[in-house]
Amino acid sequence: MSIHDEKVISQVMRLAAEFLVREAGKQSLITVTDCSLADNGQHATIYISVLPEAEAEAALNFVKRRRTELKQYIQDHLRIKRVPFLDFALERKNSNNS
């Protein structure tokens, strides 16, 4: 992964976290835990964790509905030629944890 990709990932995570803190309701705590880039930087998957876990699907649906607003927020705050298509997924669970 290039230094540019690492910087983009870091900034997308930071901006997504800022956006979600401001826009999410009080029903759950949504935390940005990771981000990955694919397709030469054209697609980004933002991974989130949700507490309580019972609200995970509702929170995932919420962030997916707000994708357009988040993309605009990133475009307004990040100097980048093209903001990648944003997708969201629940945090990847590590199967090695016991």
Separation of CA 22 from chain center: 14
CA dihedral 59, 64, 68, 70 (to 10 degrees): 40
**Residues 90 and 48: beta-carbon distance below 8 Å:** yes
Query: What ranges do the domains of the chain cover?
Result: 3-90
DSSP 23: H
According to the CATH classification, is domain 3-90 in 3.90.1150.10? Answer: no
Q: Tens place of pLDDT for every residue, the chain, 98 residues?
A: 889 899 999 999 999 999 999 998 888 999 999 999 999 989 999 999 999 999 999 999 999 999 999 999 999 999 888 999 999 999 976 544 44
